[in-house]
Amino acid sequence: MEFVKEFATFLHQNGIIKFGEFTLASGKQSSYYVDLRLVPSYPLEFRKMVKFLENEIVQDIGLDDFDSFVSVPTGGLVIASALAIETVKPLIYVRSKPKDYGTSKSVEGKIYEGMKVVMIDDVATTGGSVVNAIKSLKEVNISVKDAYVVVNRMEGADEALLELGVKMHSILNILQITEALFEQNLIDASILEKVKKQINK
């Protein structure tokens, strides 16, 4: 797929994906680190990524099948905001913890009972933050059937979301990215093996 190859190369050339030894937010060790928060600093690539995501959503479920986009700060929210503007769809977001002043609510934006939303996030690892957000939404009777992420790290997020009845879609997964880079001789076989091992753990 042309987009995957181009985007993977862009991520690698600009240090958005790095290979080595990293400690993730969860405390887990990883053989690579991907920080999509850098992508909006490259407006052309950012726009391509958002457009690609928009096309996927249109093809899979269509824009009339849901009421609003929803996201979680901060990485996913930047992408969801751009998507909402491109598609002229409403946007709400779920705080990781309710604010302790004012109305102390955890969901920001205009919501109502029975609302259907599509979840947007940047990178999925175990799915923890998205799982918590989906639970918060369900508490206020908002239904989520689909979640879209840009990069799936393939470390259990699919399964975690499926348990909540949510299907996870991703533009690309870490295996596609590393394979595309390996095919272009941008990384060597040992890096590819390390990533494969990490997925199969």
Could you tell me which of 174, 119, 176, 128 has the C-alpha nearest to residue 152? 174
Q: Tens of pLDDT along 153-193?
A: 999 999 999 999 999 999 999 999 999 999 999 999 999 99
Alpha carbons within 13 A on the beta-carbon side of 192 = 15
Instruction: Give the distance, in angstroms, between the CA of residue 34 and the centroid of all CA atoms in the same chain.
Output: 11
Residue 164, Cβ density class (10 Å: 0-12 exposed, 13-18 middle, ≥19 buried): middle
CATH topology of domain 2-200: Rossmann fold (3.40.50)
> By the 8 A CB rule, do 67 and 117 touch?
yes
Angle, in degrees to the nearest 10, between helices 189-200 and 174-183: 170
Residue 32's pLDDT band (boundaries 50, 70, 90)?
very high
Q: Tens of pLDDT along 65-118?
A: 999 999 998 889 999 999 999 999 999 999 877 666 666 678 999 999 999 999
| Amino acid 16: pLDDT | 96
Q: Tens of pLDDT along 49-62?
A: 999 999 999 999 99
What is the Cα gyration radius of the chain? 17
Tell me the pTM.
Answer: 0.92
Count of residues in the chain: 201
Q: Which amino acid is at 54?
A: E
Beta strand segments in 46-183, E: 68-71, 91-94, 107-108, 116-124, 143-152, 167-173
